[in-house]
Structure 1
């Protein structure tokens, strides 16, 4: 039986925004997102791609079209579950404790327990449920129930969230999209590419442009100190920062690895593992990784990460 674990809203947001060549939501065995609220609540609005779990009496009916054995992420949410343990409801029945309370599990947990018998992977329970997620990511609410394969292929992911509500990692197209800027409240940009765009015209203090090619011999490390200072300053000002490159896979990831090492005083390996969880197709080129190892020595006073054993 698979275990039940909490999924933070930011984790679900990042799961929804992963890409390979297209959005990973188009992959049939990538995500099974299940809503166990009542029909009225689900019809009013739900998280994009979520399917409603129907009940027959007290029995949860698992969608027949889903092969849970093969699904990588199975995420369940109800209205506002905040614990995986028992909660208590007032009742006068004989099953209640001495204070007249009945121990029960939240709907998402109850459903998750059923699902855990059908999958090898953990079943994720969304912490805070729909209420918390939809408050944080209102732009992912929908009334749409059926998603055609071509619609999922065409789904335009948002930048992934690296520090909740503070730093995002994306690509050039996302950085040029006014809706993305508005929805995520982006106020400052770090452009780690050769391309230029119409960002903050007349407000250069909110744009750092690091012009570097994505090649093995390109030098990115001379920009690390300025990059870290720029991001630190804008976080202190309360600005939300988007770090991006052309594809959002190599140069921008190298820049954010350098920043995470600086901010948290941690190894390249630990920063790598964290960033990989946020963006699973990150892949800084070998030349950038070698420069990050030298940056690790500057940040920590020694080289700790073994590139051969720890990263690729």
Structure 2
């Protein structure tokens, strides 16, 4: 009983923005993180009819007993699960007894991590990400491993960060309504299908010697000119880990006057395995100095 109380105190419920769930679904290393058994449990607390008509990709329907009470999934180890997200039609707060809240209250009793309730539910998420709606119920392990992630969403609906494969995928460009690209790679990908003037190419390798700092003002002006008109931009590099994250952080620091630490934390939340090389970290620190007239972030911290 004491153990159950201890777990209950460590859990709780929090609202999950649609962009957060989008990024959770699109995390990957060598393959999609959705293939990891202890990564994500996504539960649909709507009716069986609504679930069968359409649901968020990989979601399972939350089951109920004969009294209408929600049940914990028996196939999931909630205590070791990184993310558990529950949604219904359109829940927006944690204060009402909606289906998503009722289901989440049952789950939190066995979870060490907060249970996320999708803000706006299925209706809001599917309006933003219609390409993640599906009728598919059963997923084979190989299908999950082969799931092709989309770019990380840095600023909802406007700024994305990805790798070269994603940048060259015409379906991704169409789904995310990408209007311009920033490509930081040694060679310009021949598969790019974009109009002249909508591509900013920086032909640098992922090397500590690459001098991206001089390009930051031009990059920020290029990205800003599109975002100001509500046009989406995708920043990419070969793996979408080092060079692209450096450029994205430089823009966030410039546009919002964020410190390097604030930009770093935000981008890392959007793409868990982002990692600029040490040379780029130093250049971002110099960029912070130019913006704030002082080096606010201590880049000797092992986190950087």
TM (norm. structure 2) is 0.94
Say which of 202, 205, 208 aligns to 1:210. Answer: 202
**Does the aligned pair in 2 maintain the 1:36–1:107 contact within 8 Å?**
yes
Measured at CA, do residues 243 and 31 of structure 1 come closer, stay the same or move farther in structure 2, by a change above 3 Å? same
**Does the aligned pair in 2 maintain the 1:269–1:311 contact within 8 Å?**
no
Paired residues, what number? 293
CA RMSD of aligned residues (A): 1.0
TM (norm. structure 1) is 0.92
**How many angstroms apart in 2 are the aligned matches of 1:257 and 1:267?**
9
Which structure 1 segments of 5+ residues have no match?
87-104
Q: In the alignment, which residue of structure 2 is the partner of 1:154? A: 146
Q: In the alignment, which residue of structure 1 is the partner of 2:164? A: 172
**Does the aligned pair in 2 maintain the 1:8–1:127 contact within 8 Å?**
yes
Q: Aligned pair 1:51/2:44, yes or no?
A: no
**How many angstroms apart in 2 are the aligned matches of 1:310 and 1:265?**
23
Which structure 2 segments of 5+ residues have no match?
1-7
Q: Deviations over 1:113-158 (max 9, x none)?
A: 1100011000000000001001110000011111111111100000
Q: In the alignment, which residue of structure 1 is the partner of 2:17? A: 8
**Secondary structure of 1:75's match?**
strand
Q: Aligned pair 1:24/2:33, yes or no?
A: yes
**How many angstroms apart in 2 are the aligned matches of 1:28 and 1:79?**
26
Q: How does 1:213-292 map to 2 (within 5 A)?
A: 213-292=205-284
Q: Kindly report structure 1 stretches of 4+ aligned residues shifted beyond 4 Å.
A: none
Say which of 71, 76, 80 aligns to 2:90. Answer: 80
**Secondary structure of 1:58's match?**
coil
**How many angstroms apart in 2 are the aligned matches of 1:245 and 1:44?**
38
Tell which structure's C-alpha radius of gyration is larger. Answer: 1
Question: How much has 1:58 moved relative to structure 2?
Answer: 2.5
Question: How much has 1:257 moved relative to structure 2?
Answer: 0.7
